């Protein structure tokens, strides 16, 4: 008997980074108002980690979706490659400021 992998529902999956962000922010705020240094640290560190995790998950999802959209539309890859070769594009080789002497 093979069991199918369990997945989160789409609303839960999409809301998870925001739960991390809000939970982390809430923990940091509670940490700020604690009089005990140990309790403040016990709330602050996990809060900071949760906040960081939420930002990382949001950025990773955005990058993945952007990359997937480019592969779903191959002409977008051609346009991006053409834009990188255009004279107005400042690529990595031309990062130094140029003077008009």
pLDDT at 95: 52
Cβ-contact 25, 47 below 8 angstroms: yes
Give the pLDDT band (50/70/90) at residue 6: confident
User: What is the domain count for the chain?
Assistant: 1
The pTM assigned to this predicted structure is 0.63
CA gap 69, 67 in Å, rounded: 5
Residue 61 inside a domain? The answer is yes
pLDDT at 77: 63
Residue 73 inside a domain? The answer is yes
Residue 68 inside a domain? The answer is yes
CA gap 73, 75 in Å, rounded: 5
pLDDT, greater one: 42 or 1: 42
Q: In the chain, what is the straight-line distance between the N-terminal and C-terminal CA atoms, in Å?
A: 76
Nearest to 31 by CA among 55, 48, 53, 18: 48
**Domain limits for position 58:** 10-78
Report pLDDT digits (tens) over 58-92: 999 999 888 888 787 767 667 667 777 755 555 55
């Amino acid at each position: 008997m093979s069991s199918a992998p369990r997945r989160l529902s789409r609303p839960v999956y999409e809301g998870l980074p925001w739960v991390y962000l809000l939970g982390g922010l809430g923990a940091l705020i509670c940490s700020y108002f604690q009089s005990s240094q140990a309790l403040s640290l016990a709330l602050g560190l996990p809060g900071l980690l949760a906040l960081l995790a939420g930002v990382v998950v949001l950025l990773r999802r955005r990058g993945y979706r952007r990359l997937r959209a480019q592969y779903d539309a191959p002409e977008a890859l051609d346009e991006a490659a053409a834009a990188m070769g255009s004279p107005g594009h400042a690529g990595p080789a031309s990062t130094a400021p140029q003077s008009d002497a």
